[in-house]
Amino acid sequence: MTDTAQTPVAEPELIACPQCDALYSAVAPGPGERATCLRCGTVLIAPRRNAFLRVIALAITMMILMFGATFFPFLQVRVSGFRNSSSVFDAALAFVDGPMLPLSVAVAALIVLIPVARAGLVLYVLVPLAMDRAPLRGATIAFRWAERLKPWSMAEIFVIGVAVALVKISDLARVDYGPAFWMFAALVVVITLQDGYLCRWTIWKALDKEARK
Amino acid sequence: MSHAAPIETARDRGLVACTRCTRVWPMGQERCSRCGSPLVSRRTRSLQRVWAWLFVGMICYVPANIYPMLRTRTLFMTDESTILGGAIEIAHHGSYGIAAIIIIASVVIPIGKFIAIGYLALSLRRQVRLSSHARHKLYEFVEFIGRWSMIDVFVVAILSSLVQLSSVASINPGPAAITFALSVIFTMMSALSFDPRMIWDFPEDTTA
Ligand SMILES: [Zn+2]
Ligand SMILES: [Zn+2]
């Protein structure tokens, strides 16, 4: 951890639960343990050993997988001799005709662009911290955006959508999985793991200018 | 975590908390010096935004159910199905599980969300039966589950890009796809505008 307490007076930092405003003095629990709000149960601090390195590795994996998952064929459909294969990119462009265009943009953002942007922002913030360097310019803005975009990253929901879509056309056509399907499934696992390792409080503390004078 | 026996809030101590990075600052400070987020002790003003987003979300949900979500064209027939119609069709084919997923994601969750957000917003102004704890659980659930309503929009996107087999079969999106997506996005904005800290401000339950 980069947090080498240079401040001579160990004054405990006061924090408040974002969900219920309960006030606490922050005491970092041991790695793997979690400090939760006593009133509403919100997880406040959850440090993990080597969390920065793991999150970085997962973010890089995610970007590579997303690249493959977006452009390789995702699903292939066959009906009496005719065939068509589709990539995630095609699915995002499904609404590109006329009035549906904004929907295409939204779908592309929700399933590809926002997850990739979040991974990129997290890398920008964490790589210097993991190397024990000062954070890059604008790192706080970058991490704030990574957090803000979180509810809008919907790759995992897309995967359930695929399952539903397959059942819907099962009596109309034969469907084969392409390589991108498995990449996308792996991607969802990676995103879930990444969010599990990411302790917001630890990162904000590491980014704190006062703490690292 | 150390704390005094009765819960003391940041506001009780004359402090304002940053909801992004949890750090507290003296009341009156406008931006968090650590992460740069705007600081407001209670986002009371945003309650109007909660109602506004909720209202447009509900309005968009009406055409989403009336107009077709999917237009399926095969050699023998053309079929337009609404959200509910599509789910019933799937159930007829025997896939009850999938039909249930669609009904839950596209009907139960959106309608439940309208009611839940409306209830939570109203509960800040008057005495209600549910405790702060129960209402906070409800809020967390609404925030977690809301995104999953997007399933049906993604299904339409996948099918429309996949099933394009010239004259044999083709599937195209209907107008409901866009109004439904808007409804989900607006209700998510509504839930995100809600400040859960206000749920706890007048705790009627001293136990627990
Ligand atoms: Zn709390
Ligand atoms: Zn902050």
Residue B34 above 80 pLDDT? yes
pLDDT of residue A87: 80
Contact A94 B161 (CB under 8 A): yes
Nearest chain A residue to B149, by CA: A157
pLDDT of residue A11: 61
Alpha-carbon gap: B181 to the closest alpha carbon of chain A (Å) = 8
Mean pLDDT score across all residues of chain B: 87
How many angstroms separate the alpha carbon of residue A18 from the centre of ligand 1? 7
DSSP string covering B21-76, please? T-BEEETT--B-TTT--B--S---THHHHHHHHHHHHHHHHHHHHHS-SEEEEESS
ipTM value of the model?
0.85
- Chain A residues touching B197 at Cβ < 8 A: 18-21
Mean pLDDT of B81-87: 88
Instruction: Please check whether residue B9 touches A, CB under 8 A.
Output: yes
Mean pLDDT score across all residues of chain A: 83
**Where exactly are the structural domains of chain B?**
1-41, 44-200
- Chain A residues touching B188 at Cβ < 8 A: 151-152
Q: How far apart are CA A66 and CA A187, in angstroms?
A: 7
User: What element of type H or E holds B79?
Assistant: strand B78-81
Nearest chain B residue to A208, by CA: B34
pLDDT band with cut points at 50, 70 and 90 for residue B55: very high
For a pLDDT cut of 90, what percent of chain A falls above it? 29
Q: How far apart are CA A182 and CA A163, in angstroms?
A: 13
Q: Which residues, other chains included, contact B80 with Cβ-Cβ below 8 Å and sequence gap of 6+?
A: B68, B70, B71, B72, B174
**Are the beta carbons of A133 and B198 closer than 8 angstroms?**
no
* Reduced 3-state DSSP string for B85-152: HHHHHHHHCCCHHHHHHHHHHHHHHHHHHHHHHHHHHHHCCCCCCCCHHHHHHHHHHHHHHHHHHHHH
Nearest chain A residue to B11, by CA: A21
Q: Which residues, other chains included, contact B89 with Cβ-Cβ below 8 Å and sequence gap of 6+?
A: B81
Which one has a higher pLDDT value, B159 or B116? B116
How do residues A60-114 score in pLDDT, each as one tens digit? 999 998 888 888 888 888 877 778 888 888 777 777 776 778 888 888 899 889 9
Closest listed ligand to the CA of A147: 2
How do residues A12-56 score in pLDDT, each as one tens digit? 789 999 999 999 988 888 888 889 999 899 999 998 888 889 999
In sequence order, what are the beta bridge partners of A24?
A: A15
Q: Which residues, other chains included, contact A16 with Cβ-Cβ below 8 Å and sequence gap of 6+?
A: A22, A23, A24, B9, B10, B15, B17, B22, B24
**Are the beta carbons of B102 and B142 closer than 8 angstroms?**
no
pLDDT of residue A8: 42
- Chain B residues touching A96 at Cβ < 8 A: none
pLDDT of residue A212: 54
CATH of B44-200, one of 1.20.140, 1.20.120, 1.10.260, 1.10.3470: 1.20.140
Q: How far apart are CA B17 and CA B39, in angstroms?
A: 7
- Chain A residues touching B17 at Cβ < 8 A: 15-18, 21, 23
How many angstroms separate the alpha carbon of residue A211 from the centre of ligand 2? 14
How many angstroms separate the alpha carbon of residue B84 from the centre of ligand 1? 39
β-strand B169-173 against B70-74: which pairing, if any? antiparallel
Closest listed ligand to the CA of A16: 1
- Chain B residues touching A44 at Cβ < 8 A: 1, 22
Q: How far apart are CA A100 and CA A123, in angstroms?
A: 34
Residue B161 above 90 pLDDT? no
Alpha carbon A6 to its chain centroid, in Å, reads 32
Q: Which residues, other chains included, contact A11 with Cβ-Cβ below 8 Å and sequence gap of 6+?
A: none
Nearest to B173 among A95, A141, A157 (CB): A95
Residue B204 above 70 pLDDT? no
A-to-B residue pairs, Cβ atoms closer than 8 angstroms: 225
Residue A152 above 80 pLDDT? yes
Residue A163 above 90 pLDDT? no
Nearest to A144 among B35, B148, B168 (CB): B35
How many angstroms separate the alpha carbon of residue A198 from the centre of ligand 2? 17
**Are the beta carbons of B193 and B119 closer than 8 angstroms?**
no
**Are the beta carbons of B22 and B178 closer than 8 angstroms?**
no
Could you tell me the two tokens for B45? 């003003």
